Structure 1
Amino acid sequence: MSKRTLYILGIALTIFLGSYMYPKFCCNGDSGKSIETVNPVLIDEIGKVNYNMFNLSGENFNYSCNKNFKFLSNGFNNVQPVNDSINMGISQLKSYFDKNGNQKLIITGYALNSEKNTSAFPNLGLALANDLKNYFISKGFDAIKFETLGELRDTWRVSNDTVYGAAGFRIKQTTEIASEKLKDWNALKEKINANPLILYFNTNQTEINLTPEERQKIADLSNYLDHVPDAKITCVGHTDNVGNRDVNINLGQNRANFIKNYLSKNGISDNRIESTSKGPDEPIADNNSAEGKTKNRRTVVNLK
């Protein structure tokens, strides 16, 4: 084999190994350190160039890599599995938080105005942030370490039906969150329970269409649970008085379970939700009228 042929084969082998090894070793991070990488370019729906990068940043911690969380359009659950480079950064942040107790991660979820919000939250961006918060919690973080925000945008990083990097992350330092310790969570509980979330049911109803006010109440419930570790939600099902009482007790329980499952699908842990039934025993309206019966077919969601 000639020297020229060996030379060409050597170049080809170098290119092949570089292409194979780069995705595996392009990312790294540590407290106060990061290795910059070249970001794969994505084109959004109006042709502008965007960069897909996962970044955890704060005064004394920085981690970034060229992989990121992904969501399907109109969805609010991140696509699994999550890339190892992202999990590496989350693991390093967990170690950093363990050593620096007065830190908080602000997660801002971004969604397109054109996307349909099928979540229980006021906007899809907030639902995305809540889902990512739960992913961090699954990696050992305390829920109190997070604050979630949501923003809607006219454009974002989209490829086919996948939305890339639909969140921003920022670490708050101790001096920024000291005043938050004064927040009266009992006052929020009183506010929630004074005007609870009440969802009404039609016969054979299988879907929930929430108003903006109802979505905000669910966001308040989730926020309270994040900051009061022993708190729980109660879902109490009620019915009108038509038919057998035992049947109605079961019907009320089914309605309460339906709401529990709905909240669980939206990121509220089911072990923090209790569901019970009062059946026809606690009407709030006259069962002698159709209007009264409609008001009695309800599930009341409160804090315990």
Structure 2
Amino acid sequence: MSKKLFYLLGIVVTIILGTILYLKFCCSCCVPTKTTDNTTNIVKTPERNQTPFFLDGSGINYQCNDNFNFLQNNSALLEPISDSISIGVEALKDVLLENPNQKITITGYAMSNEENATKFENLGLARANDVKTFFVSKGLAESQFDTKGELVDSWQILGDTLSGPVKFIFSTSAASNSTDLDLLRDKINKSPLVLYFNTNQSNNKLSTLENQKINDIISYTKQVPDARVLIVGHSDNVGNRDANTVLAQKRADFTKDYLIKNGIEASRIETQSQGPDAPAADNNTAAGMAKNRRTVITIK
């Protein structure tokens, strides 16, 4: 064998041995390691400070992917509110009417670097109160909600929008005693629910405040089994007195139907018509006549 051939053969053997030694000793770091307990190691991504729309309390367990959202440095709910949230709110309304001692604390969140231009001590509290206002506008009882606000270092942001910076905690208040119920009855009767109607009409769209007063009446009647509701219909003095008396009765009947739909038994509601005989204002002015076309709802 020539020296040249022997030299080339030595180079080939060296390359082969080098490759074998490299694979054996240097590439073991490239082989995935196995844990002795057969578990899978998962690298966790940092948790995002986001709260889903989640209602979990006595009689309700509702969750959806949508939530109440807010622009940065702003306390007003972004609208429109999604249908999935609206469904949850309606379900919550039914639960709260059936459970007048149920309380919910709404916690609103804001980042510590957001500007607070509201009257509240922090932007989180302002957001919680705007959510509460939304609930009340949908007919839920204001008295069943508390609010609080918290500042955090960061939150999930999509563009310039904070995603879902609110959560809801359910609790049950102590059973109302007779003093609380007396105070609620006095509140209802001292500032009674008064519904106003257009000329010759006996239907009406209720405002947020009117809905709140109806919820107080419903809450009282649910806690006092022998309570009775009195609805008195009134009219202005334009036209025939007998016709006005009939119209005032129709207004009282409309109001009764609304209360029945909200859970008050028909047998616990009494209606009367005083027609034009008990004006609340001067019938000589348009403004006065508008105040006289009304129904007044109290507890007997």
Q: So what's the TM-score if we normalise by structure 1?
A: 0.47
Rg larger in structure = 2
